[in-house]
A and B are shown apart, each in its own frame.
Chain A
Amino acid sequence: MKGLLEAVIRGLGNGSVYALLALGFVIIYKATRVISFAQPALMLAGGVAVSHLAGTTGFYAAVPLAALLVAGVALGVERAAIRPMVGRPAFVVAIITLGVDVVVRVVVNAFIGRDVRQVGDPWGFAQVELGPLVVQQRWLAMLAVTAALVALLFAFFRYTRYGLAMRAAAHDQETALAQGISVGAVFALSWAIAGFLAAVAGAFAGTGQGIEQSTWVIALKALPAIIVGGLDSLGGAVAGGLVVGVVESLFQSYQGEYAPWLGQNFAVVSPYVVMLVVLLVRPYGLFGTREVERV
């Protein structure tokens, strides 16, 4: 039981990173109806920015600074590459985001160099005792920061003018425009928020093990998370991210013992298996909106 709970907490910690990334995907999707494949590059940029800033400002100041920096980069990307494509098919814009991802990663890789960069986090692999459980401090930190950011984000959408504008534009862009809401500003804001969240995810992905050029691959695990949770559900993104993290962790801990016939590294594909199962049972995800096609 102790081992099980420790594996769940490890999964929730890693799942927090996936949840932050998944939130970015969903926020952009709700605003623009486009899945942005630039999230991995923005995540990498965040981790790298923290690794450069932490030496001067310390880790705690470096994270918000890097997040603001990457939010600015995301704003620039939206203005330069995405806004001119408004009105084009969503598929075309999604392909452009793939290109943006490659370009941003090439630039960021130059700031990584060939060695692993450390983000200067205060936790390393240090552990803490929670009653009988022994867990790494960084997983608790990831979980706490994600919970705080999610609470702030939901408050932003619920209680602020801009949040209301974003919800209105997500519901119906034309009506929102008719009511005087700047849909362009909503697009920009959605990219900035997604960039901010991706950067925080990048900083936490680098805790303990550091950031290297291949770290961006982690962000791909947010894709099963958004499918599991539902493409247009913020709560679903959080739940999907955490589910993916926990499932992966449980497979890492127990699959070798209870299902060795699945092969040595089934944990790597387990998030995608969960995604397929959810798609079969609920094609719009656990919390997604069921689309009605009128013919």
Chain B
Amino acid sequence: MKGRCVAVGAALMVLLPACGVIRGDDDRGGGVRAPGVTAEPCPSAVDRKKGCIYLGTVSDLTSGPFAALAVPITDAQKAFWARVNKAGGIGGTYEVDVTTYVRDNKYNPEVHRQVYNEIKDRVLALAQTLGSPTTAAILGDLKTNGIVAAPASWTSAWEFEDVIVESGSNYCVEAMNSVDYAMEAHRPRSVMAVHLAGDYGADAAAGAKIAAERNGLTFTDVETPPGATEQGRAITEITKRRPDLVILTTGPADAATIVGQAAAAGFRGRFIGTGPTWNPALLKSPAAPALKALYEQSSPGRPWNAETPGHRAMREALPGVTPNDGYTSGWAWAYPMKAALEAMVAGGDVSRKGLLAAVKKLRTVDYEGMLPPEAGNYADDPNTATFRQTIVNRVDDKAPTGVTIVKDFSVGPTARAYTFDGPCFAKL
């Protein structure tokens, strides 16, 4: 009997928090003005006379493949909004809370949808929804309820969604610019896209294909599964076909395995990986010499140590952290939400509808120099609004995040001429 009581007790301890019963997700009923907006101050308010706007975060915080990026992204956004609150909040009447409704998606679309449903009635908008397939799992609900969300991903599909406030060029543009950059820097005659399935990998592969066709290069498409031990086929394809340029769209460990083993097998072509293929920890891996010799990273934004007012503010707000460009991305992604919230409060309609209307009027956003202002265009049609400038970095073990810029913000001829009439990954 005693054992049974212990078992029942243990089961309740597991189940009740899962149901949100003893997690502290108490409904902040008093003074609710709109979903996620209260007249009461935020739990850790700087000025207790101001109301509170709650923003949710659904990110890969523990065991998913992008946790090494997602945790710094989330921490940077907490620091970003703390800085906003200290500086007077939004319109002098509200502060922003991004710490109460933070959930882990484990980079699993089903988990993402589940935890999003837990918090969606308690937040005005999402400060972060990490991942392309995960965000796609909640996109229908975001659109139905008019919930604005800042994505932590760069798929071209977001250019066509009103509720998504993306910052920086998408993977498709990034790959186009990478191929065009390589045409100047490395003069390739053949391109291979090695990529994960889905709208992360396939988006970049489609961009590489479009740029290869425009530049008259032969193109090969190699889809590879995630996991460092699963890259045997990708490595075989590279070493057999010997393309002059490989556009990589994988996780960092996969990228290191592919570059390291291909180089060990005598491959001397060039690799350009999209932003998420890099992690400073790769400098300690056996692939480091090959990465230094053959790999460059394309990126939608400048790295941690760039000298812009936004980068400086970020570094001041995050003292003592190990530099990581997850912080840089997370910080930069928060500017459009701030601009939209300010416009919403100024317009007087503090609601989801008011926020969406404010987003649709944004033609530029002040990123404090981290991105050009036109990167925050959500008012024009997708083809006009799509931001098309990217950066190319090289591996540099003296740089704080292991990379330094070799080509600053620029747009290649392919991306400049391309007409965005739908998500790129559908055209692969």
Contact = CB atoms under 8 A, between A and B. Distances in A.
Contact of B253 (A212, A249, A252, A253): A212
Contacts of B227: 214, 217-218
Contacts of B377: none
A115 B251 CA distance: 11
Interface string A197-228: 00000000100111011110110000000000
Contacts of B67: 114, 213
Contact of A115 (B229, B233, B281): B281
A264 interface: yes
Interface stretch (A32-40, A66-74, A124-132, A232-240): A124-132
A124 B256 CA distance: 12
Interface in B259-291: 260-261, 263-265, 279, 281-282, 284-287, 290
B253 to A, nearest CB: 5
Given A209-B228, A209-B257, A114 B233 contact: no
Nearest to A125: B264
User: Which DSSP category, helix, strand, loop or mixed, fits chain B's interface?
Assistant: helix
A248 B286 CA distance: 24
Contacts of A265: 223-225, 230, 233
B32 to A, nearest CB: 36
A256 B63 CA distance: 32
A217 B261 CA distance: 21
B252 interface: yes
Contacts of A123: 286
Q: For chain A, which range describes its interface: under 10, 10 to 19, 20 to 34, or 35 or more residues? A: 35 or more
Nearest to B67: A114
Given A114-B68, A118-B284, A136 B264 contact: yes
A205 B230 CA distance: 12
Nearest to B284: A118
B286 A208 contact: yes
A213 B61 CA distance: 12
A81 interface: no
Nearest to B229: A218
B308 interface: no
B286 A125 contact: yes
A10 B265 CA distance: 13
Contacts of A255: 233
Given A116-B281, A209-B253, A214-B65, A268 B286 contact: no
A146 B152 CA distance: 44
B255 to A, nearest CB: 11
B217 interface: no
A267 interface: yes
A124 B286 contact: yes
B318 interface: no
Given A125-B264, A125-B286, A252-B236, A208 B257 contact: yes
Interface string A123-155: 111110000001010000000000000000000
Contacts of A125: 260-261, 263-264, 286-287, 290
A14 interface: yes
A252 B284 contact: no
Interface in B206-253: 222-230, 232-233, 236-237, 252-253
A123 B62 CA distance: 30
B139 interface: no
Nearest to B281: A115
B251 to A, nearest CB: 9
Given A125-B260, A210-B253, A265-B224, A118 B285 contact: yes
B232 A10 contact: yes
Contact of B233 (A124, A134, A213, A256): A256
A7 B236 CA distance: 10
B137 interface: no
A209 B229 contact: yes
A268 B234 CA distance: 12
B71 interface: yes
A214 B227 CA distance: 8
Contact of B68 (A115, A210, A217, A268): A115
B257 A267 contact: no
Contacts of B224: 264-265
Contact of B229 (A14, A124, A251): A14
B223 A264 contact: yes
Contacts of B223: 264-265
Nearest to B254: A209
Contacts of B233: 251-253, 255-256, 264-265, 267
Which of the listed residues B67, B71, B233, B252 has the most CB atoms from chain A within 10 Å of its own CB? B233
B63 A205 contact: no
Contacts of A115: 68, 279, 281
Given A208-B261, A212-B253, A118 B229 contact: no
Interface in A173-205: 205
A253 B279 contact: no
Contacts of A251: 233
- The CB with the most chain B CB atoms within 10 A, among A114, A115, A124, is that of A114
Given A114-B71, A116-B252, A126 B285 contact: no
B40 to A, nearest CB: 35
7 contacts: A115-B68, A115-B279, A116-B281, A252-B236, A253-B233, A264-B224, A265-B233
Interface of A: 7, 10, 14, 109, 114-116, 118, 121, 123-127, 134, 136, 205, 208-210, 212-215, 217-218, 248-249, 251-253, 255-256, 264-265, 267-268
- The 5 A-B residue pairs whose C-beta atoms are closest, nearest first, are A124-B286, A209-B228, A125-B264, A252-B232, A115-B281
Given A127-B264, A209-B256, A210-B285, 5 more contacts: A116-B252, A118-B285, A121-B286, A218-B229, A268-B230
